[in-house]
Amino acid sequence: MAAGAMTGAESVLRTLSAAGVRACFANPGTSEMHLVAALDRVPEVRPVLTLFEGVASGAADGYGRMAGIPAATLLHLGPGLGNAFANLHNAYKARTPILNVVGDHAVEHAPLNAPLASDIASVARPVSHWYASAKDARGAATDAAAAVAAARSHGGAVATLVVPADAGWGPSAGPAAPMPVMPPAPVPAEAVAEAAAALRTGEPAALLIGGAATRGPALHAAARIAAATGARLIHDTFPARLERGAGVPAAQPLPYLTEMATEALEGLAHLVICGTQAPVAFFAYPGLPSRLADPATDVRTLAGPREDAAAALEALADALGAAGEPPLAPARVPEPPTGPLDAAAIGAALAALLPEGAIVVDEAVTASAPIVQVTAGAAPHEWLTLTGGAIGQGLPVATGAAVACPDRPVVCLEGDGSAMYTLQALWTQAREALDVTTVILANRTYAILDFELSRVGAGAKGPAAAGLLEIGRPDLDFVALAHGMGVPARRAEDGETFTAALREALAEPGPRLIEARI
Amino acid sequence: MAAGAMTGAESVLRTLSAAGVRACFANPGTSEMHLVAALDRVPEVRPVLTLFEGVASGAADGYGRMAGIPAATLLHLGPGLGNAFANLHNAYKARTPILNVVGDHAVEHAPLNAPLASDIASVARPVSHWYASAKDARGAATDAAAAVAAARSHGGAVATLVVPADAGWGPSAGPAAPMPVMPPAPVPAEAVAEAAAALRTGEPAALLIGGAATRGPALHAAARIAAATGARLIHDTFPARLERGAGVPAAQPLPYLTEMATEALEGLAHLVICGTQAPVAFFAYPGLPSRLADPATDVRTLAGPREDAAAALEALADALGAAGEPPLAPARVPEPPTGPLDAAAIGAALAALLPEGAIVVDEAVTASAPIVQVTAGAAPHEWLTLTGGAIGQGLPVATGAAVACPDRPVVCLEGDGSAMYTLQALWTQAREALDVTTVILANRTYAILDFELSRVGAGAKGPAAAGLLEIGRPDLDFVALAHGMGVPARRAEDGETFTAALREALAEPGPRLIEARI
């Protein structure tokens, strides 16, 4: 390399930095060593080490949801991307801005079938809205600029850039300038007019919001529309980021269960979709519909996931003259719980103690619904959910959200079964001293599966099936597991102990874990 | 469904059972519930629950390597397969027989973009020698029969069968009969004759063995050939299953480092490849070759990975008249170590205590070489390595090997960094009471990366890079982590304590963990 020339790796990192990337969740290997070394020359990008790639991708998801700008991940060839896949799937469904930087073998080495060689593009495509592989060190910065622009465009996307080792170590011409970021696509005036006409009929109607429409001025506009027209305001079952609590316009969640969701949507003359897609069942079940809307309902899309839902809702509110203050959720804080611990008791303690501006990451699975219900009137907060159904998302998303928002407390509600997919996140929380309180809802079973087994009509549960649904032999000791990764932890088996543990955890700045035996 | 008709799910499981499948490493979800329920009606297939899919795939790898027949995995859609990907990559490179059964949405539900919908085929293909998706319940058993046959053919392959939920719950016509298993392809007589001619020249030569050639009669024949011709006997750097120890023909490993590997192969007139491919560097490095053989060497393939390496070696030995007993490794058991603990001391304790017939799973990474060296004369045993370079393989492979070989002790040598990828394997070891002794080589760093950083010419290590290479802030407490998953554990910081802990662990039947601070 010419003396003094910048490596391709450094040109890539400087390009990311110039385009606004400020964090890199990394689990690198040999092929990424030049990118690792370049981090010391680009201090604006904060490196955060994870012990497993699924933590890196989930943390990038949490970061991107809260920061609105992409974090980078740094991953090691196809297997590293494979380990990151499940949480990238969740981010892909959430349309979180993320930039994956995946190291690969040097270009001439790649076809030789070395042990780590594999088809990275094939793994990447199902979880990448944008994909490219740099060809050499000179072009890598331009590819990186395009990748960040893609990740930031249309409200957010997962972009994956493969950087071969020699594109990292070879000489570059320096960083590339940021490329234009495409805003969400504007919604045609006719879509607004048609939605207005539908809602003006006075017939039974609902407005289903998702994506960017579940918070801020967009949520406010949606609530005004609902108030002015009598339409019900419903949000996606699993929103990426939902604003809620006292003083926030309240939307009702579309229920998870097909039977309850179809009942919730039954008899509507109009269903207006904004920021999401027409609702479909999470799973198919024998004899139940996959499409959740009443077949007699007129379903129309005001704004799809890549369109400007916020502007569309403002325009629709204007068209309907929906100007007044919408109804806001009243403050409603239950008494702290006493006696036996269950999900509702945990929710009550949370509602009582949740600080204003808290971020709640919800992977409580079967325990979620009662907690959601009882916290509706807690201090205003945001709620992040399992957008893609790939469990193991909670602890990493909480980690990334805490990196993005160091001044806001993060609470992670986590099932014991799902916690075990990406428990390594605790170590990163300890290393980075992140203010995350993890509550493990320990029922020693895959309760959701126990429930689903009966729903799919698979018949009575024999011992083999039962053995695949319970995780209580041996019992997982989450206090020991947390200690093993440097996170202080306590166990709670009743309401009083849980409330005390939660109060203590929220008062302390670093990570804490509470194993809540329910 | 017609009263009494067998579900597609049960027809699939009965087909697997009829074709020899005896174990299923599972981490199922809703779309797999009919397969789960069917396990109670097909008791010949043993279900083994894992808390993470990477444990299931790695365990299937360990099982398949030792049993020689495929275990099934049971995985949940694209994200479940994604979590399994890294260890399937290792199995794919090892050509381990494995049958992945991946649940999917019902056929009509799949295109609706439900949260868990994704392109499963795209994730599967890089780690599957064979792939199919069942179209309906009637055809699923036939697909399953083809899948097992593919997994068992040509000496072993990774086969992936997607089973949509409705192909599981719909009515079938019962199980399908086993399909023919294709043996490894025969080696042409000319290849044997040419290899014989090359080795007869008396010029400097080496025989490089991998795949099926690193054990049993094939290894014996290779050693006879080497003894008769003066050729050196070398084995792949990362063999899937290597027989070694006192009384076993000894082969030398091809070194991992490019510089040492090229030196080992320098000056050869002939290099005969058997059961593997011509050697390539693990990674490319600036200024170093990717192909490891001396450019002046005549490299010829006696048998490739899908060919019958064992028969080819017997034929070659016959052609060369290499009939006598080859030299066998002498028994050489060092004194148990005293004083400070390092890799060599751990190797000495292992060499002294290793029971005959033990299975050693080696993911010790930088600590491996000294242990390999000092155990060469231990009681005869088998050694399983990281075939695909995707770390997080050791604990799961040890788990599956112990399921396959309940009467043989398993020792897993595991780096602390790599242990954290799939630590959940410990819980399955505890649940199934598997006789696995895990030795964590805890140096609190990604030592291999620290070493590689300097080798790739990335310059001096600044604090950002240093922070991505060490994992000692906070220290991982593996004793606590093991206890948290129900595995008894001890810490050892000197030779005496380690030896005592290892002796105790090997004497006890269930799983044990030793955190060896080096």
CA–CA dist A71, A59 (Å, integer): 9
CA–CA dist A322, A201 (Å, integer): 15
Among A456, A461, A471, the strongest candidate for a mutation testing the B interface, having the largest count of B CBs within 10 A, is A456
Give exposure, A126-151, as e/b (b: 16+ Cβ within 10 Å). Answer: bbbbbbbbbeebbbbbbbbbbbbbbb
The CATH class of B343-517 is: alpha beta
Chain A nearest-CA distance from B447, in A, is: 11
Which residue in B has a C-alpha nearest to residue A467's C-alpha?
Answer: B49
- Asked if residue B396 lies in contact with residue B423, where contact means CB atoms within 8 angstroms, the answer is no
Please give the interface size between A and B, counted as residue pairs whose CB atoms are below 8 Å apart.
328
Partners of B36 on chain A (C-beta within 8 Å) are: 449, 453, 458, 464-465, 468-469
**Looking at the partner chain, which of A37, A448, A465 has a beta carbon nearest the beta carbon of B37?**
A465
Q: What is the mean pLDDT of residues B137-157?
A: 98
Give exposure, A69-79, as e/b (b: 16+ Cβ within 10 Å). Answer: bbbbbbbbbbb
**Looking at the partner chain, which of B28, B290, B463 has a beta carbon nearest the beta carbon of A112?**
B290
Among A88, A109, A471, the strongest candidate for a mutation testing the B interface, having the largest count of B CBs within 10 A, is A109
Residues 318-377 of A with CB under 8 A from B: none
A474 touches chain B (CB under 8 A): yes
Handedness of CA A358, A362, A364, A367 (dihedral sign): positive
* Element (DSSP H or E) covering residue B196: helix B189-200
> Does B431 sit within 8 Å of A420, measured CB to CB?
no
Beta bridge partners of A331: none
A197 touches chain B (CB under 8 A): no
> Does B280 sit within 8 Å of A83, measured CB to CB?
no
Closest CA relative to residue B103, chosen from B148, B47, B64, B160: B160
Q: What is the mean pLDDT of residues B17-24?
A: 98
Check residue B171 and report its DSSP letter: B
Which residue in A has a C-alpha nearest to residue B47's C-alpha?
Answer: A464
* Element (DSSP H or E) covering residue B130: strand B130-133
Render each residue's pLDDT in chain A as its tens digit; 518 residues: 455 789 999 999 999 999 999 999 999 999 999 999 999 999 999 999 999 999 999 999 999 999 999 999 999 999 999 999 999 999 999 999 999 999 999 999 999 999 999 999 999 999 999 999 999 999 999 999 999 999 999 999 999 999 999 999 999 999 999 999 999 999 999 999 999 999 999 999 999 999 999 999 999 999 999 999 999 999 999 999 999 999 999 999 999 999 999 999 999 999 999 999 999 999 999 999 999 999 999 999 999 999 999 999 999 999 999 998 999 999 999 999 999 999 999 999 999 999 999 999 999 998 999 999 999 999 999 999 999 999 999 999 999 999 999 999 999 999 999 999 999 999 999 999 999 999 999 999 988 888 888 888 887 889 999 999 999 999 999 999 999 999 999 999 999 999 999 999 999 999 999 999 99
Which residue in A has a C-alpha nearest to residue B416's C-alpha?
Answer: A51
pLDDT of residue B2: 52
B290 touches chain A (CB under 8 A): yes
B216 touches chain A (CB under 8 A): no
Check residue A299 and report its DSSP letter: E
Q: Is residue B3 scored above 60 in pLDDT?
A: no
Q: What would the 3-class secondary structure string for A426-471 be?
A: HHHHHHCCCCEEEEEEECCECHHHHHHHHHCCCCCCCHHHHHHHEC
**Looking at the partner chain, which of B26, B291, B476 has a beta carbon nearest the beta carbon of A484?**
B476
Partners of A31 on chain B (C-beta within 8 Å) are: 283
Sheet strand arrangement including B252-253: B252-253, B232-235, B205-209, B270-274, B298-303
**Looking at the partner chain, which of B29, B123, B474 has a beta carbon nearest the beta carbon of A85?**
B123
Q: Tokens 């019902």 appear where? A: B106
Q: What angle do CA A176, A179, A184 make, to 5 degrees?
A: 155
A83 touches chain B (CB under 8 A): yes
Q: How many beta carbons lie within 10 A of that of residue A278, not counting itself?
A: 17
Q: What is the pLDDT of residues A290-316, one digit of tens each?
A: 999 999 999 999 999 999 999 999 999
For CATH 3.40.50.1220, the residue range(s) in chain B are 189-320
**Looking at the partner chain, which of B33, B39, B108 has a beta carbon nearest the beta carbon of A290?**
B108
- Asked if residue B187 lies in contact with residue B308, where contact means CB atoms within 8 angstroms, the answer is yes
Average pLDDT value for chain B: 97
CA–CA dist A70, A158 (Å, integer): 9
Chain B nearest-CA distance from A166, in A, is: 8
Q: How many beta carbons lie within 10 A of that of residue B264, not counting itself?
A: 18
Q: How many beta carbons lie within 10 A of that of residue B334, not counting itself?
A: 17
Q: Tokens 């014991």 appear where? A: A416
A63 touches chain B (CB under 8 A): no
pLDDT of residue B458: 84
Partners of A89 on chain B (C-beta within 8 Å) are: 78-79, 82, 118
Q: Is A273 helix (H, G, I), strand (E, B) or coil?
A: strand
Q: What is the mean pLDDT of residues B280-290?
A: 96
For CATH 3.40.50.970, the residue range(s) in chain B are 8-169, 343-517
The CATH class of B8-169 is: alpha beta
B155 touches chain A (CB under 8 A): no
Residues 103-132 of B with CB under 8 A from A: 105-106, 108-109, 112-116, 118-120, 122-123, 125-127
Complex ipTM: 0.97
> Does A475 sit within 8 Å of B486, measured CB to CB?
yes
**Looking at the partner chain, which of B386, B430, B458 has a beta carbon nearest the beta carbon of A37?**
B458
Partners of A476 on chain B (C-beta within 8 Å) are: 427, 484-486
Q: Which of these ranges, A264-273, B325-334, B455-464, has the smallest mean pLDDT?
A: B455-464
Which residue in B has a C-alpha nearest to residue A53's C-alpha?
Answer: B421
> Does B116 sit within 8 Å of A125, measured CB to CB?
no
CA–CA dist A130, A54 (Å, integer): 20
Give exposure, B363-373, as e/b (b: 16+ Cβ within 10 Å). Answer: bbbbbbbbbbe
CA–CA dist B309, B240 (Å, integer): 14
- Asked if residue B441 lies in contact with residue B416, where contact means CB atoms within 8 angstroms, the answer is yes
Q: How many beta carbons lie within 10 A of that of residue B20, not counting itself?
A: 17
Residues 418-457 of A with CB under 8 A from B: 420-421, 423-424, 427, 430-431, 448-449, 452-453, 456-457
Sheet strand arrangement including B130-133: B46-49, B23-26, B71-76, B98-104, B158-164, B130-133
Compute chain A's Rg from CA coordinates. Answer: 24
Partners of B79 on chain A (C-beta within 8 Å) are: 85-86, 89, 388-390
Partners of A449 on chain B (C-beta within 8 Å) are: 28-30, 33, 36
A392 touches chain B (CB under 8 A): yes
- Asked if residue B283 lies in contact with residue A34, where contact means CB atoms within 8 angstroms, the answer is no
Q: Which string of DSSP letters, residue by residue, matches B262-330?
A: HHHHTT-SEEEEESS---B-SS--TTS-SB-S-TTSEEEEEE-TTB-HHHHHHHHHHHHT--SPPPBPP
Beta bridge partners of B296: none
**CA distances, A86 to each of A81, A202, B68, B217 (Å):** 10, 43, 30, 43
Pick among 3.40.50.720, 1.10.569.10, 3.40.800.10, 3.40.50.1220: CATH of A189-319:
3.40.50.1220
> Does B126 sit within 8 Å of A122, measured CB to CB?
yes
- Asked if residue A361 lies in contact with residue A398, where contact means CB atoms within 8 angstroms, the answer is yes
- H helical segments located in B201-274: 216-229, 258-265
> Does B85 sit within 8 Å of A456, measured CB to CB?
no
Domain at B189-320, CATH homologous superfamily: TPP-binding domain (3.40.50.1220)
Q: What is the mean pLDDT of residues B195-207?
A: 98
pLDDT of residue B461: 86
pLDDT of residue A159: 98
Phi-psi region of B251 (alpha: psi -120 to 50; beta: other; left: phi over 0): beta
* Element (DSSP H or E) covering residue B500: helix B495-507
Paired tokens of B191 = 């290849």
Closest CA relative to residue B12, chosen from B29, B48, B36, B47: B36
- Asked if residue A323 lies in contact with residue A227, where contact means CB atoms within 8 angstroms, the answer is no
- Asked if residue B35 lies in contact with residue B168, where contact means CB atoms within 8 angstroms, the answer is yes
* Element (DSSP H or E) covering residue B463: helix B463-469
For CATH 3.40.50.1220, the residue range(s) in chain A are 189-319
Chain B nearest-CA distance from A160, in A, is: 15
Chain A nearest-CA distance from B319, in A, is: 31
Which residue in B has a C-alpha nearest to residue A448's C-alpha?
Answer: B30
Among A13, A25, A41, A51, the strongest candidate for a mutation testing the B interface, having the largest count of B CBs within 10 A, is A51
pLDDT of residue A450: 86
- Asked if residue A511 lies in contact with residue A437, where contact means CB atoms within 8 angstroms, the answer is yes
Partners of A458 on chain B (C-beta within 8 Å) are: 9, 33-34, 36-37, 169
Using CB atoms within 10 Å of the CB of residue B376, give its burial: 0 to 12 exposed, 13 to 18 middle, 19+ buried.
Answer: middle
Among B48, B101, B105, B283, the strongest candidate for a mutation testing the A interface, having the largest count of A CBs within 10 A, is B283
Q: What is the pLDDT of residues B59-112, one digit of tens each?
A: 999 999 999 999 999 999 999 999 999 999 999 999 999 999 999 999 999 999
Q: Which residues contact B4 (CB under 8 A, 6 or more apart)?
A: none
B85 touches chain A (CB under 8 A): yes
**Looking at the partner chain, which of A89, A115, A277 has a beta carbon nearest the beta carbon of B93?**
A115
Chain B nearest-CA distance from A193, in A, is: 27
> Does A480 sit within 8 Å of B481, measured CB to CB?
yes
Paired tokens of A465 = 């099936």
- Asked if residue A308 lies in contact with residue A187, where contact means CB atoms within 8 angstroms, the answer is yes
